[in-house]
Structure 1
Amino acid sequence: MNDIIERMRSGKRISETDSDFPRLCEEIENTKRLVVELNTGYHTPDEVRALLERIWGQPLDASVRMFPPFYTAFGKTTRVGKEVFINFGCTFLDQGGITLEDGVFIGPGAKILTEHHPEEPALRHRLLVKPVIVRRNAWIGAGAMIMPGVTVGENAIVAAGAVVTKDVPDNTVVAGVPAKILRKIKE
């Protein structure tokens, strides 16, 4: 199974015709079971972190905090730094790869999406993926959506409800649908 995960972490897609596709489906089912376990009943912060380590396939620093519920279908291409906080009800579609650097805050109900589909109806069943990177100390507001291929810059703030379709420069505040730069961060 590790070879599938490493292929995906390196940006290689596994299509339905790939001989490893059934193993990828098994991994997705395993992740779904872990997500249900995470979202059912009370868990201490250490128990939440232990489940996330299994979902994300990486050891997490003791400073990482999350308030379930949390939703993801794959998990193994999410990378999380230190002092990351993820609030209630977030969704990560991560087959394209999600990186949360140190000190990132994610507000309640935020969505980070690395997966999308072609516009053309005949091709729409295909999955297209692009990575999302959230740089150090960035803050993603409640209900914001970060779309495939976006990098949110260091110290940036994405306002609540924003839909981010383009990269966000360091030290800026963005808001709206689609998100636009409002101003630089106050010193």
Structure 2
Amino acid sequence: MADNVFIHPTANVDARAEIGEGTKVWINVQIREGAKIGRNCILSKDVYIDHAVSIGDGCKVQNSVSVYDGVTIEDDVFVGPNASFTNDKVPRANNPEWKITPTLVRRGASIGANATIVCGTVIGEYAMIAAGSVVTKDVEPHALMMGNPARCVGYVDEAGNRLEERP
């Protein structure tokens, strides 16, 4: 574990997880073996990070988010409270042959509260997923996605401001 890492006493962090300098791990967070968390991240209350998950530098993961095996989050990503990631295209209670389907969230993207990210998708750089949206297909960079299923309704700049046209 790097220097200047804060881990709340109620957090459960496996000794085999890697946590970058300046990262804060708050109340009731669980980080499993083999997870890699970058520098200067914030993992808020009740976050679950599965084994082998990779989270880049400068990310903020809000309350009650579960990030499952197969999800990769690049640098400077925001994940809003109660957002959901899946990792199985055909989830069944009894499926011994199930496979993890990877998901990639590119640099600078924002995922709103209660959004669902269906596995097998790539969320482009600086894309913004509106609260409550359900992402079922790849999202292009800077796209503003809304709805169920999520549809592109416009574009945003790196700061999240609406753009008049596609960048």
Is the TM value for this pair above 0.5?
yes
Q: Does 1:66 align with 2:39?
A: no
Unpaired stretches in structure 2, ≥5 consecutive residues: 1-9, 13-21, 157-161
Q: Does 1:90 align with 2:65?
A: yes
Is contact 2:55-2:72 (8 Å) kept?
yes
1:139 to 110, 126, 134: 110
Distance 1:98 1:118, change over 3 A: closer
Provide the residue aligned with 2:6 in structure 1: none
Deviation string, structure 1 residues 51-100 (Cα, Å, up to 9, x no partner): 9795252453340111120235xx22211110010000112232xx1111
Post-superposition offset of 1:118? 6.1
Kindly name which structure, 1 or 2, has the bigger radius of gyration based on alpha carbons: 1
Q: Does 1:173 align with 2:144?
A: yes
Higher fraction of strand: 2
Q: What percent of counterpart residues are identical?
A: 30
Q: Does 1:105 align with 2:78?
A: yes
| DSSP 3-state at the match of 1:83 | coil
Provide the residue aligned with 1:114 in structure 2: 87
Provide the residue aligned with 2:120 in structure 1: 149
Aligned residues: 139
Distance 1:68 1:141, change over 3 A: same
User: Which AA in structure 2 matches 1:149?
Assistant: G
Is contact 2:43-2:60 (8 Å) kept?
yes
Distance 1:47 1:117, change over 3 A: same
Q: Which runs of 4+ in 1 moved over 4 A?
A: 51-54, 123-126
Distance 1:85 1:55, change over 3 A: same
What is the TM-score with the length of structure 2 in the denominator?
0.71
Is contact 2:31-2:48 (8 Å) kept?
no
Is contact 1:53-1:59 (8 Å) kept?
no
Higher fraction of helix: 1
Q: Distance in 2 between matches of 1:179 and 1:144?
A: 10
Is contact 2:133-2:147 (8 Å) kept?
yes
